[in-house]
């Protein structure tokens, strides 16, 4: 494939050079009590083809609110562990326990064979980092991506947390990635084309000379973890399909300080930027309403990690 040309990367934005993130050791799979309802892929690892409707029923919407609120609570708790010295596997342990104690199943666990209960993506890791023995260091940034299966539906949300004292350029990256997500959420309403989402994100990213990752996109989410809707975070003119009331999906932009290409680690999951520059991500699950959008991944009080930790 030809190398894509992209706007945005400039040498002046280079953060201090740092050692790349190295894989640690991955511990054994955590167990889920037999009483907890599991998604269909939990045993085989295979979610099969997506068959669910892209529009949720009123009952499913009520469930999405419960699952989303639980995911938001767990992500806020996970954020308390984003401090120097925490092994990412300790975040996995806590997220796993908090999800199970709410009666849920940690959606990543055995999804297409993913070995852990949450994704933890540090510094140049774009997404799908596997929790392991690596300890967080002062100055790291870490995306924690929590998904819970509760009440027959998934709530999927993530936040990038600052670990200790983070350099100014990385702090800007995290701040603007969060804003890009909300700029996109603000365009969601019935009748709007899906390409308005990517246009909003790309417009914001370009203002700050940040790259927009193209290889991982937002997705329909509901009774299935990843259902049929595709939500690119860059401007894709041909995505003219219109949003409809009741549709449920994520917006989860990944912005970078440099290029937008990725390399996959040997674990077949961890996606790192090819140039080693840092990347940040935020994610909410939402439902299109009659006149706009409702975020499901907020607490009953309307709180979420992105608003508490990343502003
Ligand atoms: N939560 C991720 C998303 O936003 C998906 C993780 S899949 C896993 O879509 F298998 F890596 F957990
Ligand atoms: Co998602
Ligand atoms: Co996610």
123 lines ligand 1 (CB under 6 A): no
Averaged pLDDT, 221-239: 97
Within a domain: 194: yes
Neighbours of 59 (CB within 10 A): 11
- The residue among 79, 87, 100 whose CA lies nearest residue 26 is 87
pLDDT tens-digit series, residues 104-130: 999 999 999 999 999 999 999 999 999
Distance 33 CA to ligand 1 centre (A): 22
The dihedral region occupied by 276, where left means phi > 0, alpha psi between -120 and 50, and beta the remainder, is: left
Task: Report yes or no on 3 lying in a domain.
Answer: no
Coil, strand, or helix at residue 176? helix
- Does the pLDDT value for residue 145 go beyond 70? yes
Report the pLDDT value the prediction gives residue 7, as an integer from 0 to 100. Answer: 43
Asked if 247 and 220 count as a contact pair (C-beta separation under 8 A), the reply is: yes
**Residue 133 and residue 114: Cα distance in Å, rounded?**
17
The answer for residues whose C-beta is within 8 angstroms of residue 72's C-beta and 6 or more apart is 155, 157, 297, 298, 299, 303, 304, 305
Report the nearest-CA residue for atom 2 of ligand 1. 145
Angle CA(226)–CA(192)–CA(4) in degrees, nearest 5?
65
- What integer pLDDT is reported at residue 138 of this predicted model? 98
Sign of the four-CA dihedral 170, 285, 136, 272 = negative
**Residue pLDDT, tens place only, 52-71:** 999 999 999 999 999 999 99
Task: Output phi, psi for 2, to 5 deg.
Answer: -65, 150
Averaged pLDDT of the chain = 95
Q: Worst-scoring range by mean pLDDT, 10-14, 165-169, 262-266, 272-276?
A: 10-14
Q: Both tokens of residue 296?
A: 């499901």
Residue 72: the pLDDT is 99
**Residue 6, pLDDT above cutoff 60:** no
Q: What is the Cα–Cα distance from 147 to 69, expressed in whole angstroms?
A: 11
Residue 15 pLDDT: 52
- Mutation test of ligand 1: which of 95, 145, 252 has the most ligand atoms closer than 8 Å to its C-beta? 145
Contacts of residue 177, Cβ cutoff 8 Å, sequence gap at least 6: 160, 210, 253, 254, 255, 280, 281, 282
In a domain? residue 264: yes
Give residue-wise pLDDT tens across range 8-51. 444 445 554 689 999 999 999 999 999 999 999 999 999 999 99
d(CA 148, CA 266): 27
Kindly state if the Cβ of 119 falls inside 6 Å of ligand 1: yes
**Residue 50: per-residue pLDDT:** 96
Residue 4 has pLDDT above 60, yes or no: no
Q: Can you tell me the mean pLDDT for 225-239?
A: 97
Task: List, for residues 184-218, the tens digit of each pLDDT value.
Answer: 999 999 999 999 999 999 999 999 999 999 999 99
Asked whether residue 261 is assigned to any structural domain, the reply reads: yes
Name residue 271's beta-bridge partners. Answer: 127, 264
Does a structural domain hold residue 8? no
CATH number at residue 65: 3.90.230.10
Residue range 68-78: average pLDDT? 99
Residue 87 located in a structural domain: yes
CA–centroid distance, 263 to ligand 2, in Å, is 20
Ligand 3 centroid distance, CA of 244 (Å): 22
* Dihedral Cα 131, 132, 134, 136, nearest 10 deg: 30
Residue 281 alpha carbon to ligand 1 centre in Å? 12
The response to whether residue 111 sits with its C-beta less than 6 Å from ligand 1 reads: yes
Task: State the pLDDT at residue 10.
Answer: 46
The residue that leads in pLDDT, 7 or 79, is: 79
User: How much is the pLDDT for 311?
Assistant: 86
**Position 140 confidence tier, pLDDT thresholds 50, 70, 90:** very high
Q: Pairing mode, if any, of strands 211-212 and 218-220? A: unpaired
210 occurs within a structural domain = yes
Smallest Cα–Cα separation from 119: which of 237, 281, 249, 6? 281
The answer as to whether 276 is a domain residue is: yes
- Record the pTM: 0.95
pLDDT recorded at residue 97:
99
Has residue 309 got a pLDDT over 50?
A: yes
Range of the domain at 168: 55-309
Sign of CA dihedral 161, 285, 263, 261: negative
Confidence of residue 5 (pLDDT cuts 50, 70, 90): very low
By the 8 A CB rule, do 241 and 195 touch? no
Domain count, the chain: 1
Most ligand 1 atoms within 8 A of CB, residue of 115, 128, 216 to mutate: 128
Query: What is the Cα 105 distance to its own chain's centre?
Result: 17
Could you identify the atom of ligand 1 that is nearest to the CA of residue 283? 4
Token pair belonging to 44: 């085989």
Give 119 Cα–ligand 1 centroid separation in angstroms.
7
Q: Would you state the pLDDT for residue 18?
A: 81
């Amino acid at each position: 494939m030809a190398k894509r040309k992209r706007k945005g990367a400039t040498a002046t934005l280079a953060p201090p050079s740092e050692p790349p993130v190295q894989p640690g050791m991955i511990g054994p799979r955590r167990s889920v009590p037999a009483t907890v309802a599991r998604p269909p892929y939990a045993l085989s690892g295979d979610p099969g083809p997506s068959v669910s409707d892209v529009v949720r029923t009123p009952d499913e919407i009520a469930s999405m609110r419960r699952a989303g609120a639980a995911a938001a609570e767990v992500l806020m708790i996970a954020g308390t562990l984003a401090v120097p010295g925490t092994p990412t596997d300790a975040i996995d342990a806590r997220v796993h326990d908090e999800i199970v104690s709410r009666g849920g199943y940690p959606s990543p666990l055995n999804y297409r064979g993913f070995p852990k209960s949450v994704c933890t993506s540090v510094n140049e890791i774009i997404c799908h980092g596997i929790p392991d023995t690596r300890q967080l260091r002062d100055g790291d940034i870490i995306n924690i991506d929590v998904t819970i299966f509760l009440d027959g539906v998934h709530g999927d949300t993530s936040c990038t947390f600052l670990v200790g004292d983070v350099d100014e350029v990385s702090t800007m990256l995290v701040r603007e990635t969060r804003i890009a997500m909300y700029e996109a959420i603000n365009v969601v309403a019935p009748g709007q084309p899906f390409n308005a989402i990517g246009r909003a994100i790309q417009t914001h990213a370009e203002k700050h000379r940040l790259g927009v990752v193209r290889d991982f996109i937002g997705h329909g989410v509901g009774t299935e973890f990843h259902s049929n809707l595709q939500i690119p975070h860059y401007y894709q003119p041909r995505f003219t399909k219109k949003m409809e009331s009741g549709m449920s999906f994520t917006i989860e932009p990944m912005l970078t300080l440099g290029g937008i290409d990725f390399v996959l680690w040997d674990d077949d999951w961890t996606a790192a930027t090819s140039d080693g520059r840092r990347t940040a991500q935020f994610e909410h699950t939402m439902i299109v309403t009659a006149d706009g959008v409702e975020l499901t991944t907020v607490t009953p009080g309307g709180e979420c990690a992105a608003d508490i930790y990343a502003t």
